[in-house]
Amino acid sequence: MKETQALSKVTIHFAGDSGDGIQLAGSQFANTTALAGNDLSTFPDFPAEIRAPIGTVSGVSGFQINFGSEKIHTPGGRPDVLVAMNAAAYRKNFSSLKTAGVVIVDPAGFDKKNLRLAGYDENQNPLNDKPTDYQFYEIEVTRLNREAMKEVDIAPRERDRSRNMFVLGFIYFLYNRDLDVTLNFLEEKFKNKAGVLEANRKALLAGYNYGDTIEAITRYRIEKAKLPAGTYRNITGNQALSIGLIAAAKKSGLDLFYGSYPITPASDILHELAARKNYGVKTFQAEDEIAAISSAIGASFGGAIGTTGTSGPGMALKTEALGLAMMLEIPLVVVNVQRGGPSTGLPTKTEQSDLLQAVYGRNGETPIPVIAASSSSDCFWAAYEAVKMAVEHMTPVILLSDGYLANSSEPWRFPKSSDLKAIKAPFQKPNTDYLPYKRDEREVRNWAIPGMEGLEHRLGGLEKEDLTGNVSYDPENHELMVKTRARKVALIANDYPASELEQGSANADVLVLGWGNTFGAIKVAVAEALNQGLSVAQLHLRYINPLPNDLEELLGSFKTILIPELNDGQLVRIIRDRYLVKARVLDKIQGKPFLAEEIVEAIKKIDQHGA
């Protein structure tokens, strides 16, 4: 009988060529693990090239999952287990593996050709000189998988494509996972391809059974996580964001329109929404970024919730139309799923590189509210809030996500309708005296859409006369309107909840201040620092513009403010400029999210050397 060891959490990194089905294997393991009741977080890592060179380090595709019986906040730092389908995957990822970790490799991926492509000397196979403090499973996946395929009616060149299922089956055996989720997935995906279905099914079972035949192997058991009661699903950030937009449209009673031009890593939002026509969603794949945002502005003018999504390069192209939407003062939500830049940059890698662009990147005086999601599931709530803010304050809103949040996944508990705050559009009543730019105490004008009786009015990109909306070149009026629009955005901060520390106290010496995807890594890092007796606290910002009214007082209680960012220091510039406080940046511009240990080390340096 094989030994079973209980673990509280495990991090596994799957790696191989883009054609090895790494993302499919990883996502299936994630779905199975979610249904097993574990908490989890995942991080897919794609090559930047569409057809990356096979066998090379730059062509390696990765998928990391951190799962356990405890609360999981990140996809893990250094993995406990590395699955390397070839030499390139091994070379890229072995150095990040924890000491005494588990390595699963296919020797067929370490032949002379693969060694040469990976940059090794053809006569120096790393498997011949394995470190003794790691546990290696050299499984002849290619050979064993081909044997399992002997009686399957499929072309010989197609048989090796199911190797990912063989490895997945073995991992399922090691961690006591159920095969049914993946078997059902395969039946649905390949229901019209009997040979492919049989090949993948046999490969999965062969890998699982292979684990059962190995002597002296340890299996692992991870108990269910103690999550709040409710109905859960595993969800990516782009999926959550899409559902958040739909939920907001339903809650407000408005139609949802999404105009977009495909761009990595935002394209999945268009795919998700295009499949939701049964909820009244209207989608439009535009010919370019300018047409995409212009169509969304037109939808808002017509009384719908106009939304559009893109990444950094697309935001640059949308800039002029963003200024138009701000001057028209109509609701619009612009999603920026950030990636590495500038220009085409690193299309499949994550970065927080567009914060200053979101806050300042338009001509003229053009303040626009900016909010940021902090986790994959939080993309739902951020999207919902962006729509609520846009509609109720009659303004465009920029919602910041990024490639890490967009593609990563975690369990998400379905909210009830009662959990969602009401969204009330400030529509003007028909046949009433209407001045397009007459405002309430929040500086918000009423919304009149074409066809409402007695509410004819004119909108455009030229400066407006106060109240009437007529074209005006009067100098004093221009200054009044610029300041009025800015004041309207500033007053949005009155709707924010009070700022609260995530961890630690206001008496701590160091505040770790974050925004966006750094939340999980900071959460783990600050918890570790507190366990080590360090004087530290955590605060995470959702609202970047306008900043919370109580933020200045809260920041002033700390000796040092540390801001980890996946950029060259953008939030730190805003904080220093606004509050004149002592803030330092911990930057990382590598296309990869922070490891918690990197933030812990930065906290320790401050503790040792002072501010």
Backbone angles phi, psi at 427, to 5 degrees: -70, 140
pLDDT digits (tens, 9 = 90+) for 237-276: 999 999 999 999 999 999 999 999 999 999 999 999 999 9
Which residues sit opposite 560 in a β-bridge?
510
- Token digits for 373? 């999601």
Distance CA 293, CA 301 (A): 12
Distance CA 123, CA 600 (A): 41
List of E strands, 340-475: 370-372, 396-402, 409-413
Count other Cβ atoms within 10 Å, centred on residue 598.
15
* pLDDT, position 514: 98
Exposed, middle or buried: residue 223 (CB in 10 Å: 0-12, 13-18, 19+)?
A: middle
DSSP state of 38: -
- Token digits for 539? 């605060």
- Judged by DSSP in three states, 42 sits in strand
Backbone angles phi, psi at 81, to 5 degrees: -135, 135
User: 563 near 583, Cβ under 8 Å?
Assistant: yes
User: 240 near 415, Cβ under 8 Å?
Assistant: no
Percentages of the chain per state (helix, strand, coil), in multiples of 5: 40, 20, 40
Residue tagged 């990765």 (tokens): 62
- Token digits for 221? 């058991």
User: 222 near 67, Cβ under 8 Å?
Assistant: yes
Q: Work out the angle at residue 236's Cα, subtended by the Cα atoms of residues 230 and 237, and round it to the nearest 5 degrees.
A: 105
Nearest of 22, 1, 2 to residue 12 by alpha carbon: 22
- Token digits for 234? 């595993």
DSSP state of 397: E
User: 395 near 297, Cβ under 8 Å?
Assistant: no
Q: HSE, CB side, 13 Å, CA atoms: give it for residue 403.
A: 29
Distance CA 45, CA 120 (A): 23
* pLDDT, position 47: 87
Residues 6+ apart with CB under 8 A from 356: 570, 573, 574
Distance CA 475, CA 431 (A): 33
Q: Which domains can be identified in the chain, with CATH numbers? A: 3-221 (3.40.920.10), 232-419 (3.40.50.970), 426-495 (no CATH), 510-609 (3.40.50.920)
Distance CA 28, CA 182 (A): 6
Exposed, middle or buried: residue 422 (CB in 10 Å: 0-12, 13-18, 19+)?
A: exposed
* pLDDT, position 216: 61
Pairing of strands 396-402, 583-587: unpaired
Nearest of 223, 171, 238, 180 to residue 39 by alpha carbon: 223
Sign of CA dihedral 23, 28, 31, 37: negative
Residue 9: C-alpha distances to residues 412, 427, 502 (Å): 19, 51, 23
Residues 6+ apart with CB under 8 A from 539: 499, 501, 502, 511, 512, 513, 514, 554
Distance CA 309, CA 181 (A): 32
* pLDDT, position 1: 58
Distance CA 575, CA 569 (A): 10
Residue tagged 């190797």 (tokens): 163
Nearest of 147, 164, 150, 166 to residue 209 by alpha carbon: 166
Sign of CA dihedral 292, 297, 303, 307: positive
Low-confidence ranges of the chain (pLDDT < 70): 1, 216, 607, 609-611
Cis-peptide into 313, omega within 30 deg: no
Distance CA 300, CA 470 (A): 20
